Structure formats: structure tokens, C-alpha cells
């Protein structure tokens, strides 16, 4: 059975797929209707009605209308407001070309008005919400991310990602974290019932209390499994932290929180009375089509045409590797390669205009502004945050700098860094790798069309997010996972495909050892025990004669500091990591039907290695370490 997805595409499908097998898609409207059914979660003696609302993927914030829990509003990054329940649409900014996206929303106590706040501090008032000023004319150090109103409705606060607070109207300034170097950016702000204080919540669950807001606890040094995206104050003595996975954590006198099995990424939460409303990115059915080594221009055009013929939305994804020089904040270095060296980063580029439906409105907005979006694990590895500057080298060897416009899960970026496609093409990130398709009217008809294209284009494959998940014994670890497990290295070019790697990383990771059958070999120390075990089992099974030792020593081997051969760009070979072993390369060349004995394959798989022989373009010589289950999960 062919491989369903490459590691990066698989990450995207995990992010947008439902948590269980779903029926074939009908229309986008039917999908939204089906996914917004209420879920009732018990909380002590009081049930909490949790409604998961999939309005628009660009939804960034919400506000409740009063305390009865019967309605409210949600706003998109473009400023379009949607009313639900008994709330009335009081105006929005949909017809205005905003300078910066909307990021926050708050309602008046009467429930007959609301404010919208943009990332540059601009404030827009509707209904009976009075305009009391904005930070639009202030040169902000960090962008605005949250907003809260006073109990009187005559004032409000704006909070920036660094915890800076700006007070307007009768909102008192009670302090901020603007002068503190936070581990993670602020994501939410709520005021106390009296209006005499407020809390700020950071992405890692850190809580900061000011004025009459008591500190009731935080996640401390144990960060939640998903990033905190919102905070809800249930009284002056209790609050919930809501994560992007839909889970909530209670502090103080707050009742046990509802735990919702979310099938998407939660971007905002709003409490009204006994109800908790979660706004999440839509649950999408996605088809992804790709071609080994990159899509040819003809294959790309045929796939996009097939999607259009079946009323579907598609976006072309371009992938590659760029060389990062540094990450800086306000002129100070956050992380950097040594002078003259670079750090390899996986990168992806997509069209911002089509990105919102796949990766979210705030991501699409950042790409449209010419900014880069960084994966959260990647940011955590180096202490990066929105607003930082990334300087890198593209395929033309020209140094460029981009602002980090958003930090989101790698399930949404599909790479360490995500660019807009026009921006990516400007520095050589132009290799079309796959086409993502959603909004499918007739899944069977589209499947038939793609199957026809498979017969016309060599090495073309496609996968569907709603197909039952089947374990792939030959899937490999992502580059990011390798960095987490083994650390990352600086590198620089030598002649041809060869690279020079950070000698400290090489000394820490690459060892010379003797293994059964092959003898002396140089590999990553993380893989040598599993390699030795596999070869010992092959020897014990009487299969050693099936390995051509001379060919393997001359043309195979393990550690070789080079880029991937046969592809464009700067992708680093797994041989440079010392994790790939080539066995019998002469009789199992890349791109040819493999002749490897399957008994050898199964022994390698049992010892933590993937085999390249089942890949879309087979690589029968290639065995790549992925670790045992407990190491690679």
C-alpha cells in the first residue's frame, strides 16, 4: 500500500480532520451546520451547555450579550461581526480596508453595544458603546492582543502581547508586565466585577494580577498541553484558562470546568450565564495531492482544475528549507547561528487569500502583511514570539528579514516557518509540493478524477482526511521532531552537496562503532543500539548473506554531511543527522523497484527503522531511524 502522506502534509490533516471517521463531505454549509450541534457537559449539579461554533475560519474573538447567555457576537480578523441568539448586529468593519487586523472584542453591560480592537490599538465603537480613545497613534512595542471593558461601560483596557496595558475612559490603570521579559506572550485579559483590577493570562498559562484582582494560581512551571488562548472570570475569586484544544483549567472558587473534546483549534471563548461558547477553526474535510520530488507544472495545473471542476477550494503549497541566521527582538539577539553559519529551517509558502480556510484568519492576515508565521514548538525552542525579527538566507543567498506575525501550532503551519507564496517565490521557495482541496461537493467524483490523474503523472498520490487512519510503518520523524530529540546544528556549504556541520553537535551525536555484519560504521549515537540489534537479529536468522557488505561499505554507510541529492533547495539529508543507513545500494537504487528481502525489512522495522521501499518514489536501499514507539511518539 502506498504511503498516504508525507510528514508535513500529515501534520496539516491531523489539524483539520475530525476525531473520528466522518461521512463524505456534502457542502461547506452542511459541514458547518453539522459541527455546531450543542454538547452538554456536567459541572457539579449545574450542566453547562457548550456550543462549538464554526462560523468563519477567520473568527478571532467574541463577546456575550448580557448575563443571560442567550446570545452574543463573534468577529473576524477583517472586522466582520456575526450575531447569534438574541443579539442584534450593530455594525462592523467588513466594508473597510483595515490597516491592521481586528484581534479583540468587548460588549457593553446593556448588551446593546460592542467595541472592536485592532492589533495597532485602533478602537471602533458600535451601538451604545462609547468611544473613549485608542492606542492607534501610539508607537506600540508589541501588538494589541486583548480587550476588557469596565462594569459601567464607560471605559476599557487594551493589552499588548508583552503585557503592556492601556486604559481609557473610567478604566483605571493598575499596572502591567510591559517591563518584564515574559516567557510566553499574553493572550487574554479580563477585569474584576468591581472594575478595580484585571488579570492577564499568557500563552503558557502564566497569570498576572493587578489592582483588586487576586492572584488565584496559574499553571506555573507545568504548562498546559495546549496553548492558552483565553481567560474567563467567573467571579472576583475564580477564573478559567481555556486552551486551543478546548480544555479548561479552574482556579480559585471557579467550579470544575467543562472538558470539551474539540475537533478543531479553539481561538476564543466567551461565557454568558451558564454557557461557555468556544470558537474554533472549522472541521474540514481535506484532500491532499502530491508528487514525489515536487509537483510538475502540468500535474499542479491538472489537480487545481480537477478541484475547480468539482466546486472545491484549493491552495498550492510550496516547501523547502531556508537558512536562518538569527532571531532578534528590539535589536537584541534572541537566538542566532555562529557568524558565517546558518540553521536549517523547514519552510512552507501558500497563497494568503486562500489560506484562511485551511490555516486560520490570523495566520492568513499575517501572511498578507508580508510577515512570517512560526510554529509554536519552533518558537519555544528558541524563545521567539510574535513581533520578533527572523533574518534568513534564501536560495539566492541574499539575507532577508521578516517579522513574526503569529505563532501557532505546527499542525497549522505544516513547517517551522510559513510564508505567503509571493514572498516565498521572491527568495526561491517556489517548489510546488502539494495541493490542498476542501469544500468538496462530490467526494466520489473528485476521487475518481484524481485516480485518473495518478495514471497520467508519475509518482502522483493523494490522501483524504476522512479515510480511516492506518499506521504506516515507514513514516519518518519530522525535522522539528529530530531537533527536539537531538538538538539542532549550525551548518554551512562546502563543495557540491556537501555541508560542514557544527563540530560541537557532531562530537555530541556522531560516534564510530562496530556493528554486526557491516563492521565499523559512523552513525548517530541515538541510532546505533537499534542498528546493532537489527543487524544481530539478521545474523541470528541466517540472513547475513543477503547483505552485500562491500557494496554497503563503499556506497552506503550512515553519517554523511550533505544535502538531499536529486532535489532543489537546501533540504538536509537524514544522513547528515547520522540516522539513515543505506543497505545494498547497487541493487536497490533510488526510484527503481526494490529488491530488498522483506525479512530484512521487517527486522529493521521491528527495531525502529522506516524503509524507503514503500515510498511514492521508492528508495529500497534506505533505512531511516525513527526510534521505538516510546521514543518517537
**Region for residue 602 given its phi and psi (left: phi exceeds 0; alpha: psi -120 to 50; beta: otherwise):** alpha
Query: Is residue 495 scored above 50 in pLDDT?
Result: yes
Taking a C-beta distance cutoff of 8 angstroms, is the pair 45, 53 a contact? no
Return the pLDDT at 48: 57
- Sheet containing 186-191: give its strands across: 186-191, 197-202, 207-211
Taking a C-beta distance cutoff of 8 angstroms, is the pair 249, 205 a contact? yes
Q: How far apart are CA 140 and CA 119, in angstroms?
A: 10
Return the pLDDT at 497: 86
**Long-range contacts, stretch 207-216, CB < 8 angstroms, 24+ apart:** 207/231, 207/239, 207/241, 207/251, 208/163, 208/177, 210/165, 210/174, 210/175, 210/176, 211/172, 211/174, 211/175, 212/236, 213/174, 214/252, 216/251, 216/252
Return the pLDDT at 100: 83
Where is average pLDDT lowest: 161-175, 197-211, 255-269, 618-632?
255-269
pLDDT-based confidence at 52, cuts 50/70/90? low
Return the pLDDT at 407: 86
Taking a C-beta distance cutoff of 8 angstroms, is the pair 140, 146 a contact? no
Higher pLDDT, 330 or 70: 330
- Summarize the confidence of residues 195-199 as an average pLDDT: 96
Return the pLDDT at 99: 83
Most confident of 192-196, 358-362, 565-569: 192-196
Higher pLDDT, 95 or 34: 95
Most confident of 17-31, 273-287, 411-425: 411-425
Return the pLDDT at 97: 84
One DSSP character per residue, 392-425 reads EE-TT--EEEEEEEEEE-HHHHSSSEEEEHHHHH
Query: Is residue 1 scored above 60 in pLDDT?
Result: no
Nearest residue to 318 (alpha-carbon basis) of 399, 397, 404, 414: 414
Taking a C-beta distance cutoff of 8 angstroms, is the pair 365, 334 a contact? no
Query: Is residue 175 scored above 50 in pLDDT?
Result: yes
Helix, strand, or coil (residue 595): coil
Query: Is residue 41 scored above 70 in pLDDT?
Result: no
pLDDT-based confidence at 632, cuts 50/70/90? very low
Q: How far apart are CA 344 and CA 568, in angstroms?
A: 15
Report the sign of the C-alpha dihedral through residues 233, 235, 239, 244, in that order.
negative
Query: Is residue 65 scored above 90 in pLDDT?
Result: no
- Summarize the confidence of residues 213-229 as an average pLDDT: 82
Return the pLDDT at 37: 35
Query: Is residue 51 scored above 80 in pLDDT?
Result: no
Q: Which residues of 201-227 are buried (b: 16+ CB within 10 A; e: fewer)?
A: bbbbbbbbbbbbbbebebbeeebbebb
Taking a C-beta distance cutoff of 8 angstroms, is the pair 466, 17 a contact? yes
Return the pLDDT at 321: 92
Cβ within 8 Å of residue 494, ≥6 positions away: 500
How many CB atoms lie under 10 A from the CB of residue 348?
26
All three cell numbers of 293: 520530488
pLDDT above 70: percentage of residues in the chain: 86
Structural element, H or E, at residue 57: none
Return the pLDDT at 77: 81
Phi, psi of 87 (to 5 degrees): -80, 150
Cβ within 8 Å of residue 55, ≥6 positions away: 32, 74, 82, 279
Query: Is residue 240 scored above 60 in pLDDT?
Result: yes
pLDDT digit string (tens) for 464-479? 988 887 788 999 999 9
Return the pLDDT at 388: 92
Query: Is residue 86 scored above 90 in pLDDT?
Result: no
- Summarize the confidence of residues 409-426 as an average pLDDT: 91
Higher pLDDT, 219 or 47: 219
Return the pLDDT at 221: 61
Return the pLDDT at 235: 79
pLDDT digit string (tens) for 269-285? 887 666 777 877 666 78
What average pLDDT does the chain have? 84
Phi, psi of 362 (to 5 degrees): -70, -30
Cβ within 8 Å of residue 553, ≥6 positions away: 518, 519
Query: Is residue 26 scored above 60 in pLDDT?
Result: no
pTM comes to 0.76
**Bridge partners of residue 319, in order along the sequence:** 348
Higher pLDDT, 455 or 365: 455
Cβ within 8 Å of residue 137, ≥6 positions away: none
Taking a C-beta distance cutoff of 8 angstroms, is the pair 409, 362 a contact? no
Query: Is residue 619 scored above 90 in pLDDT?
Result: yes
pLDDT digit string (tens) for 289-325? 998 878 999 999 999 999 999 988 899 999 999 999 9
Higher pLDDT, 44 or 400: 400
pLDDT-based confidence at 441, cuts 50/70/90? confident
- Summarize the confidence of residues 184-196 as an average pLDDT: 92
Amino acid at each position: 500500500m502506498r504511503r498516504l502522506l508525507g510528514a508535513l502534509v500529515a501534520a496539516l490533516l491531523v489539524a483539520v480532520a475530525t476525531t473520528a471517521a466522518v461521512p463524505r463531505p456534502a457542502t461547506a454549509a452542511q459541514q458547518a451546520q453539522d459541527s455546531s450541534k450543542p454538547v452538554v457537559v456536567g459541572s457539579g449539579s449545574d450542566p453547562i451547555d457548550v456550543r462549538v461554533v464554526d462560523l468563519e475560519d477567520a473568527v478571532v474573538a467574541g463577546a456575550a450579550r448580557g448575563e443571560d447567555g442567550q446570545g452574543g457576537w463573534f468577529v473576524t480578523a477583517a472586522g466582520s461581526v456575526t450575531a447569534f441568539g438574541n443579539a442584534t448586529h450593530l455594525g462592523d468593519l467588513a466594508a473597510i480596508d483595515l490597516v491592521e487586523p481586528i484581534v479583540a472584542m468587548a460588549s457593553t453591560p446593556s448588551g446593546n453595544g460592542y467595541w472592536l480592537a485592532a492589533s495597532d490599538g485602533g478602537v471602533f465603537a458600535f451601538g451604545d458603546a462609547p468611544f473613549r480613545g485608542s492606542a492607534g497613534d501610539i508607537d506600540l512595542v508589541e501588538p494589541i492582543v486583548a480587550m476588557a471593558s469596565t462594569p459601567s461601560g464607560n471605559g476599557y483596557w487594551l493589552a499588548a502581547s508583552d503585557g503592556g496595558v492601556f486604559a481609557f475612559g473610567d478604566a483605571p490603570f493598575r499596572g502591567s508586565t510591559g517591563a518584564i521579559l515574559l516567557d510566553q506572550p499574553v493572550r487574554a485579559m479580563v477585569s474584576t466585577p468591581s472594575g478595580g483590577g484585571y488579570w492577564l493570562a499568557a500563552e503558557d498559562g502564566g497569570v498576572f494580577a493587578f489592582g483588586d484582582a487576586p492572584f488565584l494560581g496559574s499553571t506555573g512551571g507545568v504548562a498546559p498541553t495546549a496553548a492558552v488562548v483565553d481567560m474567563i472570570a467567573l467571579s472576583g475569586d475564580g477564573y478559567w484558562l481555556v486552551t486551543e484544544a478546548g480544555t479548561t483549567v479552574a482556579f480559585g472558587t471557579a467550579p470544575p470546568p467543562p472538558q470539551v473534546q474539540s475537533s478543531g483549534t479553539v481561538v476564543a471563548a466567551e461565557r454568558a450565564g451558564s454557557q461557555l461558547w468556544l470558537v474554533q477553526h472549522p472541521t474540514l474535510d481535506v484532500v491532499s495531492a502530491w508528487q514525489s520530488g515536487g509537483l510538475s507544472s502540468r500535474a499542479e495545473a491538472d489537480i487545481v482544475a480537477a478541484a475547480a471542476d468539482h466546486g472545491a477550494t484549493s491552495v498550492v503549497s510550496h516547501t523547502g528549507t531556508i537558512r536562518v541566521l538569527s532571531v532578534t527582538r528590539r535589536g537584541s539577539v534572541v537566538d542566532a547561528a555562529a557568524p558565517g553559519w546558518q540553521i536549517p529551517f523547514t519552510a512552507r509558502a501558500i497563497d494568503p487569500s486562500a489560506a484562511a480556510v485551511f490555516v486560520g484568519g490570523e495566520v492568513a492576515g499575517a501572511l498578507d502583511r508580508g510577515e512570517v508565521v512560526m510554529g509554536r514548538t519552533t518558537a519555544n525552542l528558541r524563545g521567539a514570539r510574535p513581533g520578533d525579527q527572523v533574518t534568513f538566507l534564501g536560495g539566492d543567498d541574499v539575507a532577508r528579514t521578516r517579522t513574526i506575525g503569529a505563532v501557532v501550532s505546527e499542525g497549522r503551519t505544516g513547517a517551522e516557518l510559513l510564508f505567503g507564496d509571493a514572498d516565498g517565490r521572491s527568495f526561491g521557495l517556489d517548489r510546488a509540493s502539494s495541493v490542498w482541496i476542501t469544500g468538496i461537493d462530490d467526494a466520489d467524483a473528485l476521487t475518481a478524477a484524481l485516480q485518473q490523474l495518478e495514471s497520467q503523472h508519475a509518482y502522483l498520490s493523494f490522501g483524504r482526511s476522512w479515510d480511516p487512519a492506518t499506521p504506516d510503518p515507514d513514516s519518518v520523524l519530522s525535522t522539528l521532531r529530530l531537533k527536539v530529540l537531538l538538538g539542532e546544528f549550525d551548518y554551512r556549504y562546502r563543495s557540491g552537496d556537501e555541508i560542514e556541520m557544527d563540530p560541537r553537535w557532531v562530537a555530541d551525536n556522531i560516534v564510530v562503532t562496530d556493528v554486526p555484519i557491516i563492521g565499523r560504521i559512523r552513525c548517530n549515537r541515538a541510532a546505533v543500539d537499534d542498528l546493532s540489534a537489527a543487524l544481530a537479529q539478521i545474523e541470528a536468522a541466517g540472513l547475513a548473506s543477503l547483505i552485500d557488505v562491500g557494496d554497503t561499505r563503499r556506497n552506503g554507510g550512515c553519517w554523511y554531511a550533505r544535502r538531499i541529492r536529486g532535489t532543489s533547495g537546501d533540504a538536509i539529508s537524514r544522513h547528515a543527522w547520522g540516522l539513515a543507513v543505506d543497505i545494498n545500494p547497487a541493487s536497490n537504487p533510488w526510484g527503481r523497484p526494490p529488491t530488498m528481502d522483506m525479512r530484512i525489512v521487517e527486522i529493521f522495522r521491528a527495531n525502529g527503522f522506516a524503509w524507503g521501499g514503500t515510498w511514492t518514489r521508492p528508495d529500497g536501499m534506505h533505512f531511516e531511524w525513527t526510534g521505538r514507539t516510546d521514543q518517537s511518539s
